[in-house]
Amino acid sequence: MKRGFSFLILSIVIVLSSTAICYPFCYPSEGTMGTELIITGTNFGVKTGKVLIGNTDLKILEWNNENIHAVLVKLINPGIYDVIIQPHAPKGAPQIIEWQAFTIKGPEINSLSRTEGPAYDYVTIQGKFFGTKKGKVYMEGGEDGSLVKKNCKVVSWMMDSETAESEIVFVVPRLVSEIYDVVVDPYGTIPETEEDIFFALEAPKIISAVPNFGSVGDQITIYGRFFGIKKGKVYLSYEADGKKIKKICSVISWTVDSITKESKILFTVPRGLPPGEYDLIVTNSAGMDTYPDIFTIIIRKFSLQDLKRAAHNNQLIDTGNVFLKIEISTDKTGRQTIYLDLISELPIIGFNSCIFFDKNPLAQAEFAYKSDDLWYAMSAYNTAVAEEIAESIPLKKPFENIPYSWLLGAMLNNSQTNLGTIIITIEKKKKKNINNFWFIFEPYAL
């Protein structure tokens, strides 16, 4: 009998359990601290496991079999990292790794809401990857040849946790006028922004003064830019004996338009300055601006000595809209006659005028006016009569609390440069000097 072998062939089929995992997808693929990630796939399990970027754990917000929602709450230096998923079950399940799937980004500045302005201005930074926790903003630049780095007050700091779109509002600090880098430093431990984003810290710039003349107590408006939201100082400056002299002015208001950033200052002309042209100076924490000879101080209240001095020097007195040319004559009795020619180039002009004595008069005065183009004029000998007729006199701003000797108001149609002449005649009493005589002249354009 022939011996042989028979073989039993078994087909063994190994069936894997239904735990196969679809290659996961991570969105977004870049971000920073505060970025939320959505990881989609299959068979992550129903129990919460772990997700890491590099070696850093993420905080799990939601975990189910097909989706993981997590947020990066710790600092990681910029770079490219693996995303690692560690399921909770089954025990000993291998990690799922998305190689180089996520990029940690440093902060990026895209734009500033404005690139120039004064100290204390609010500026908005638009960019990405600033993080959700408030960091620092500073301005860095040269100041007198040395590097200056100044922290800025941060008003608000936000970042969209999904898109990483970011916005910061900060306050420009006190620095000298210069061009500075704007730097965002989110956490102090990772590199700050490296873009060349500049902000020009501007000193004030005067555009105009309206009106550009005035006397003591007049309110003047300065228009300009970069005055800043914090009140600075205003000066009137002139030169005397080779030295610059500054007189500080009282500031009534200091405003900046929130949209156009145009600036406006209202100040009062101070006492103690002689008539003439003055430099106008505006200062703030960033610096100063000087507008040479922009403002003229005029006199509208004159003593007899003022008038005599102007007549002797053949000097025109600038009262704003009208120049006064003065001549004085004295007769044998000592009676003085003052002729004040009114000169102006404005087509229609008005004026208020009076003479008075601030104590018991040592003289008698007569006040008259003559002009071919006089529309209206009226005068009175004493205070009572002046007050009685004041309402009928076309005064722009009637004088108040003045012991009138004479009062005159007029409106003139100026067909010629010379408007006419005011004539004042003064007769001394008991041959005494007159020290308490005042002449007031206030013109206005119509």
Q: How far apart (Å, rounded) are the C-alpha atoms in residues 303 and 352? A: 17
Chosen domain end from 297, 332, 367: 297
The verdict on residue 9 lying in a domain is no
Instruction: Say yes or no: 403 and 351 in one domain.
Output: yes
Task: Determine the average pLDDT of the residues in 187-196.
Answer: 61
Q: pLDDT exceeding 90 applies to what percent of the chain?
A: 36
Instruction: Say yes or no: 312 and 439 in one domain.
Output: yes
Q: Find the domain containing 193 and state its range.
A: 108-201
Residue 395 has pLDDT above 90, yes or no: no
User: Which of these ranges, 99-103, 229-233, 306-310, has the smallest mean pLDDT?
Assistant: 306-310
Residue 293 has pLDDT above 70, yes or no: yes
Split into its structural domains, the chain has a count of: 4
Residue 10 has pLDDT above 50, yes or no: no
The verdict on residue 5 lying in a domain is no
pLDDT value at position 280?
97
pLDDT value at position 104?
93
Instruction: Say yes or no: 217 and 330 in one domain.
Output: no
For position 117, which CATH number holds?
2.60.40.10
Task: Determine the average pLDDT of the residues in 260-286.
Answer: 90
The verdict on residue 375 lying in a domain is yes
Residue 133 has pLDDT above 60, yes or no: yes
Q: How far apart (Å, rounded) are the C-alpha atoms in residues 138 and 154? A: 9
H-only helix segments in 116-249: none
pLDDT band with cut points at 50, 70 and 90 for residue 6: very low
Task: Determine the average pLDDT of the residues in 361-388.
Answer: 48
pLDDT value at position 334?
76
Instruction: Say yes or no: 314 and 277 in one domain.
Output: no
Chosen domain end from 297, 316, 335: 297
The verdict on residue 11 lying in a domain is no
The verdict on residue 6 lying in a domain is no
User: Which of these ranges, 106-115, 210-219, 429-438, has the smallest mean pLDDT?
Assistant: 429-438
Instruction: Say yes or no: 168 and 224 in one domain.
Output: no
User: Which of these ranges, 79-88, 269-278, 355-364, 410-419, has the smallest mean pLDDT?
Assistant: 355-364
pLDDT value at position 48?
92
Residue 310, H or E segment: helix 304-312
Residue 25 has pLDDT above 80, yes or no: yes
DSSP letter for 387, please. H
Instruction: Name the residue with higher pLDDT: 67 or 22.
Output: 67
Instruction: Say yes or no: 234 and 121 in one domain.
Output: no
Question: 195-231, pLDDT tens digit by residue?
Answer: 668 888 899 999 999 988 888 888 999 999 999 999 9
Beta strands in 231-387 (DSSP E): 233-240, 243-248, 250-256, 262-268, 276-284, 287-297, 301-303, 317-318, 323-330, 336-343, 348-357, 363-370, 374-376
Residue 370 has pLDDT above 70, yes or no: no
pLDDT value at position 156?
96
Instruction: Say yes or no: 37 and 55 in one domain.
Output: yes
Instruction: Name the residue with higher pLDDT: 357 or 317.
Output: 317
Instruction: Say yes or no: 433 and 336 in one domain.
Output: yes
Residue 308 has pLDDT above 50, yes or no: yes
Q: In Å, how far are 171, 266, 354 from 102, measured between CA atoms?
A: 34, 58, 86
The verdict on residue 41 lying in a domain is yes
Residue 30 has pLDDT above 90, yes or no: yes
User: Which of these ranges, 14-18, 106-110, 379-383, has the smallest mean pLDDT?
Assistant: 14-18
Instruction: Say yes or no: 196 and 213 in one domain.
Output: no
Instruction: Name the residue with higher pLDDT: 384 or 177.
Output: 177
pLDDT value at position 330?
86
Of the ranges 166-175, 312-321, 340-349, 374-383, the best mean pLDDT one: 166-175
Task: Determine the average pLDDT of the residues in 110-129.
Answer: 92
pLDDT band with cut points at 50, 70 and 90 for residue 356: low
Task: Determine the average pLDDT of the residues in 434-440.
Answer: 68
pLDDT band with cut points at 50, 70 and 90 for residue 289: very high
Mean pLDDT of the chain: 79
Q: pLDDT exceeding 70 applies to what percent of the chain?
A: 73
Q: What Rg do the C-alpha atoms of the chain give, in angstroms?
A: 42
pLDDT value at position 236?
96
The verdict on residue 82 lying in a domain is yes
Phi-psi region of 19 (alpha: psi -120 to 50; beta: other; left: phi over 0): alpha
Instruction: Say yes or no: 275 and 391 in one domain.
Output: no
Residue 191 has pLDDT above 80, yes or no: no
Residue 375 has pLDDT above 60, yes or no: no
pLDDT value at position 42?
83
For position 307, which CATH number holds?
2.60.40
The verdict on residue 13 lying in a domain is no
Residue 79 has pLDDT above 90, yes or no: yes
Amino acid at site 425: T
Residue 411 has pLDDT above 80, yes or no: no
Instruction: Name the residue with higher pLDDT: 131 or 396.
Output: 131
pLDDT value at position 21?
47
Q: How far apart (Å, rounded) are the C-alpha atoms in residues 285 and 134? A: 27
Query: Burial level of 432, CB count in 10 A (0-12/13-18/19+)?
Result: exposed
Provide the terminal-to-terminal Cα distance of the chain, rounded to the nearest Å: 147
Instruction: Say yes or no: 428 and 311 in one domain.
Output: yes
Chosen domain end from 104, 123, 152: 104
pLDDT value at position 237?
94
Residue 9 has pLDDT above 60, yes or no: no
Instruction: Say yes or no: 322 and 413 in one domain.
Output: yes
pLDDT value at position 215?
84
